């Protein structure tokens, strides 16, 4: 399993419902940001992967568990850890925490696609090399 990447997220008013609780779908947005920043930390920008290598990632499936609510102005830690990768997919285990308290966890499978045809495409060899360097 890969190293855990953690991205801090502050809960803003726009993330909450009328009661000041984070709207359930926004946890997916927080997790998306963490995966994007994880990729960036490895030296890859999604727009460049698309333009230069014709590669995009899309969410194929999500299994999500909600445990406790996040609230307005909370500082959260959103983690992303690669649990498996294949020729044209990457699986992540992700968590949203407030300190030591687990609020939400998920297993997210990304599919690698050709940017022009939306057909499955092998993950870039340069990205695969970086994943191997990270211990995957």
Catalytic residues: 17
Residue 17: closest CA among 67, 70, 68, 78: 70
Picking from 7, 8, 27, the residue whose alpha carbon sits closest to that of residue 17 is 27
Which parts of the chain are beta strand (E)? 5-10, 55-66, 75-86, 89-98, 101-114
Which of 16-19's residues contact partners 24+ apart within 8 Å by CB, and which partners? Answer: 16/71, 16/72
d(CA 71, CA 59): 26
């Amino acid at each position: 399993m890969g190293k855990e990447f953690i991205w801090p997220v502050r809960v803003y008013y726009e993330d909450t419902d009328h009661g000041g609780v984070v709207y359930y779908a926004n946890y997916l947005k927080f997790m998306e940001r963490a995966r994007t920043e994880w990729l960036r930390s490895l030296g890859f920008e999604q727009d460049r992967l698309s333009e230069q290598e014709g590669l995009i990632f899309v969410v194929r499936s999500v299994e999500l568990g909600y445990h406790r609510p996040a609230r307005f102005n909370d500082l959260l830690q959103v983690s992303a850890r690669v649990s498996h990768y294949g020729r044209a997919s990457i699986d992540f285990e992700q968590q949203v925490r407030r300190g030591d308290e687990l609020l939400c966890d998920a297993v997210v499978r990304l599919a690698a696609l050709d940017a022009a045809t939306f057909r499955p495409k092998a993950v870039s060899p340069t990205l695969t090399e970086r994943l191997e360097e990270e211990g995957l």
